[in-house]
Structure 1
Amino acid sequence: MELLAQSFHMNKAVEGTSYAKNSSIQSKIISITKCITEEAILEVLCKNLPESMGIADLGCSSGPNVLSVISKITNIIYAKCSQSGLPKPPELRIFLNDLYNNDFNGIFGSLPDFYNQMKEVNGNSFGPCFIFGVPASFYGRLFPSNSLHFVHSSSSLHWLSQVPPELDVKASTAINKGHIYICESSPQNVLDSYYRQFQKDFSLFLKSRAEEIVPGGRMVLTFMGRRFMDPTIEEGCYNQLELLAQALMSVAAEGLIPEEKVDTFNTPYYAPCPEEIKLEVEKEGSFVMNRLEVFEIDWDGGSAEASNTVSMGRRVAKLVRAVIEPMLESQFGSDIMDYLFQRYEKILDNHLSKTRSKYINLVISVAKNSEGLGN
């Protein structure tokens, strides 16, 4: 788990391949779920307006989406306070969390402009707003007890704390050879291993947040997921990861990387279905489910780039590379990355010429069991 925490981060400020420049999918997900976020925040404010309000964005990553999320949340709070005629808004304590190697410096360097923009938009309604970085895994405690009123996490919880231990084996005993995630031909023990790891991680996430969130506090969480129980059907497994496995195997066939390294590489990822999420929320017992919705997004996020200038395969390859390249580099080295993603781009172009593939996304809104809010 410690090794994963060190290698798992989005691509930093590298020209053309950084997450900051290739996170349009995540931005669109945030935009689509804005109304659910607003609803949850207003429910918190309507219960009992705290003097000091704790807000956390978990798995915040880096780039423009981070402060975009925070500005949306703070604008909702300030607008509500202004409409209610309150003399002053609550003091806001905003915590930005991600793993240790996240580009927090990039975020902090953008804060002066963020504060100036917030003052311009909100005028006299803008109150004390303190922003902190919290580097650690969200699969465990991060904050003092009863210190948070609202928790947001977008496009993060489908990433597991680790590769399922049963899959982290030597090539001679690898049970998911030639693949890096669940596929149609994966044996049942591969499916079971991934699901057990998801259950363990999401249960720990819920238990940790239950300690940290005040009674009546809210969470809005989004996942990459699937609609149906069977993880081996096309929308569950025939995704970018399976096509990336094909690219890796083609590079291995040329002798550029050892095939054994592909056989032993598995992604710490799980795309849950609604029933699996509901079950863990109910089992943990601290939260009430207010919403669970499913929506689709094109693999390229409906990019506005002209298709005759940049192919859809290239756009998708850049989006995937920005997320997963650091993990690939830790297994295969950095020298092969450009060539690997050129191969991946061609495989994607071929796939997308035949079908318009979409991400399945799940968003849930939950409230901590309570009769009212604490301060």
Structure 2
Amino acid sequence: MTRPPGLSVRLKLTLSYAGFLMIAGVLLLAAVWMFLLRDRPTGDVGVLSFSNFLRAFNPRNFGPAVFGPAAVMVLVFLLVFGLVGGWILAGRMLKPLTRITDATRVAAHGSLSHRIRLRGREDEFRELADAFDAMLERLEAHVVEQQRFAANASHELRTPLAISQALLDVARQDPDSDPGELVERLHTVNARAIELTEALLLLSRTDQRSFRRKPVDLSLIAEEATETLLPFAEEHGVTLETVGDVTPADGSPALLLQLTTNLVHNAIVHNLPEHGNVRIETAVRSGFVMLTVENTGEKLSPQLVWTLTEPFQRGTERVRGAHAGVGLGLAIVRSITRAHDGILSLAPLPGGGLRVTVQLPSPR
């Protein structure tokens, strides 16, 4: 929220306390002045000079029996006035803090939809309230995302288990069925369940950022991923092209290799039926290191591209059925990119296909 500049809370409190101190001093001087005027001779009505003031203020001119009770009354009045005024003033100044505390209690009971929305000019309390609102917004979005992810993960993990149960039920009802075929199908289903579980574990690891950063060269990682997937690309009739100079970065070599491998694998699978092409480029640009993977393929709508990084979003209209995967490839890429404080962007190519760019901070 954009706010006009305002006085800080420290300055407001300073001015308030100084103001009350000045008021107290004025009241005290006025009380003493009135006391001295009351005790002056009747004929001497002129303005008091400094010397006359000093002579009048001499304790020998009036005894403690006269000035003492009056001074006590004045001090009691100033004390009460200061306490009441300070209490009211502090309440007004700290009222925003009370709203923030109430919002914290509401959030502590599980309600993340509550917002403070503190009005007024910019100061420390408004800045704290805006930061708290932003934190609640991020927490609410994170909780919703985790709930959706948990529901999707449960569904995806239940599918291979349900298939295995169905295969076993059919085999139990048909004693003459071929056990070799049953074993082969169960092996395929089990391999898919293991692949999904490993992907979920990797996604959890990257979300927690439980890894050590080391100096790496993205160009070497891109070459390693390309060499690993070259037979797979040849099998699908896809040409791989890797370009780029030395591209230093800081991060986990294993996770960055997983990121690059996922991108290249997706580019191979989601490509043209034949004569497809995948281009992997690494570069250093204005304080960032870039990894770009482009592939030919069908034309994609911006709406579909926007959802591809969500977990279990496979984009089925452009996936070859035998290589549908578990739907976590780009979700893992996004998580690894975030864990390395990078930016992931996807853009459809005008002639068909997709461009995926990973932008990471340059090493310091």
- TM-score (norm. length: structure 1): 0.22
Give the number of the structure whose residues are more often helix, by fraction. Answer: 2
Name which one, 1 or 2, has greater alpha-carbon Rg: 2
Larger relative contact order (C-alpha < 8 A, sep ≥ 6)?
1
